Amino acid sequence: MIDLLPVRQLAVRLTGEAWRFEAENAERIDQHWRKLTADNPHLWNGRVMKLASFDMADGVFSGSMVEASYAAFLAWRDWNYPDPNIRNLFGSAVIRARGGELVFGKMAAYTATAGLVYPPGGNLDPDDLREDGELDVEGSISRELGEETGLDAGEALTHSTFALFDGPRISISRVFEFPYTAKEIVARVDEHNAREERPELEGAVVLSKSSDTDGLAMPPYARALADRLLAI
């Protein structure tokens, strides 16, 4: 069972330390990356942040992160998470329509998660690093929401934040309740995609009840989110 715990405060910092897995497997990672980009030349090897340690107590999620290449992260993911000390901490923007439906995204074919259905979101990266050394997780979630769907987090009427613990993945999921119908939200996503040269989403997926996830390719945390939130 995937735990879903309310979060009232986030305190995630960059340690400045190197990721040993990346240093010790540099040649294999480079070979893996060359194969991935031969199959999908749209992949880009930027810098990302990965969680090295964390604690969750009294609604406060705190943690320390290391910086790594996206190539190293994909190798770690594709090789079934060989470094158990690292977790993939990322933000998720959970869109809730006026009628209570959830609107997830289906990832485009040229992304590293092609065809999967889950809330808009993504890796934390150096752009999320504040001057005080903390990572702006909530800001990252709002930015990803806008970049992937065209929706503005400021338009949401209410929001709440949860942490989902899914093995090597930890999703910091912020629920945005918008004053729009699911149909209106889908139309806005479609309009946003039409303006983008290479949109991250193939399209929006509306979930009205838990059984709507049947047959969809979804990460476990995304399915757990849908099951839990659609039961409320």
How would residue 1 be classed by pLDDT, with cut points 50, 70 and 90?
confident
Q: CB of 64 within 8 A of CB of 51? A: yes
User: Tokens at residue 44, please?
Assistant: 């880009």
Inter-CA distances, 178 with 57, 155, 157, 215, Å: 30, 7, 6, 27
Give me the pLDDT at residue 231, please. 87
Nearest to 160 by CA among 213, 92, 230: 92
Bridge partners for 125 per DSSP: none
186 has a pLDDT exceeding 80? yes
Inter-CA distances, 201 with 41, 108, 120, 225, Å: 17, 5, 9, 19
pLDDT in tens, 10-43: 999 999 899 999 999 999 999 999 999 999 999 9
pLDDT in tens, 99-156: 999 999 999 999 999 999 999 999 999 999 999 999 999 999 999 999 999 999 999 9
Q: CB of 120 within 8 A of CB of 226? A: no
Could you give all domains of the chain from N- to C-terminal order, each with its CATH number?
Answer: 3-230 (3.90.79.10)
Question: In sequence order, what E strands does 125-168 have?
Answer: 158-166
